[in-house]
Chain A
Amino acid sequence: MAILKGGLSVRRYRIIGELPEGFTDVFVDALNTNQFREPQSPTHKGEASGWCQVHNLLDVDFSDVNLWLYNQYALFALRVDKKVVPARLLRAHLEKRMQAWCSANNRPRVPAAVKEELREALEQEMLQKTLPRVQTFEVCWHQNDGWLLFTSDSELPNERFQKLFLRTFALRAVPWSPLDELVGTVGLPEALVSLGATDLRGSVR
Chain B
Amino acid sequence: MSEGATELLPPHIAADFYLWLWWRSEEQSGRFSLDEGAPVELYLDDRLALRDTGEERPTTLLTGDSPGTTPEARAAVLGGKVPKELRLLIRREDREYRVTLRGERIGIAGAKLPTQVKTGEVAEVLYDRMFVYEELHWIVACLLRQFAAARVAADWRSEQVPHIRDWLASLDDRGSGG
Interface residues of A (CB under 8 A from B): 1, 3-5, 7-12, 14-18, 55, 70-71, 73, 75, 140, 142, 146, 149, 153, 174-183, 185, 188-189, 191-193, 195-201, 204
Contacts and interface: CB of A to CB of B under 8 A. Distances in A.
A182 to B, nearest CB: 5
A204 B109 CA distance: 31
B144 A12 contact: no
Contact of A3 (B16, B118, B126, B144): B126
28 contacts: A4-B126, A7-B109, A7-B110, A7-B112, A8-B129, A9-B107, A9-B108, A12-B108, A17-B1, A70-B126, A73-B127, A153-B105, A174-B4, A175-B105, A178-B106, A179-B7, A183-B4, A185-B145, A188-B148, A188-B152, A193-B13, A195-B151, A195-B152, A197-B12, A199-B80, A200-B164, A201-B78, A204-B161
B73 interface: no
B1 A146 contact: yes
A129 B59 CA distance: 42
A178 B8 contact: yes
B12 A196 contact: yes
B144 A182 contact: yes
Contact of A192 (B108, B111, B152, B164): B152
A9 B156 CA distance: 33
Interface of B: 1, 3-10, 12-14, 16-17, 19, 53, 77-80, 104-113, 118, 122-123, 125-127, 129-130, 133, 137, 141, 144-145, 148-149, 151-152, 156-157, 161, 164-165, 168
B5 A16 contact: no
Nearest to A19: B1
A198 B16 contact: yes
Contacts of B129: 3-4, 8
A180 B4 contact: yes
Contacts of B111: 7-9
Contacts of A185: 145, 148-149
A8 B113 contact: yes
Please give me the 4 A-B residue pairs with the lowest Cβ-Cβ distance, nearest first: A179-B5, A197-B12, A177-B5, A8-B111
Given A9-B111, A192-B152, A201 B80 contact: yes
Q: What does DSSP make chain B's interface, helix, strand, loop or mixed?
A: helix
Contacts of A17: 1
Contacts of B113: 8
Given A178-B14, A188-B149, A204-B157, A1 B3 contact: no
A17 B7 CA distance: 19
Given A4-B126, A179-B9, A181-B145, A12 B137 contact: yes
Given A174-B3, A177-B4, A183-B4, A191 B152 contact: yes
B105 A149 contact: no
Nearest to A69: B123
A16 B3 contact: yes
Contacts of B3: 16, 174
A183 B12 CA distance: 20
B145 A182 contact: yes
A4 B152 CA distance: 39
A179 B3 CA distance: 12
A189 B163 CA distance: 25
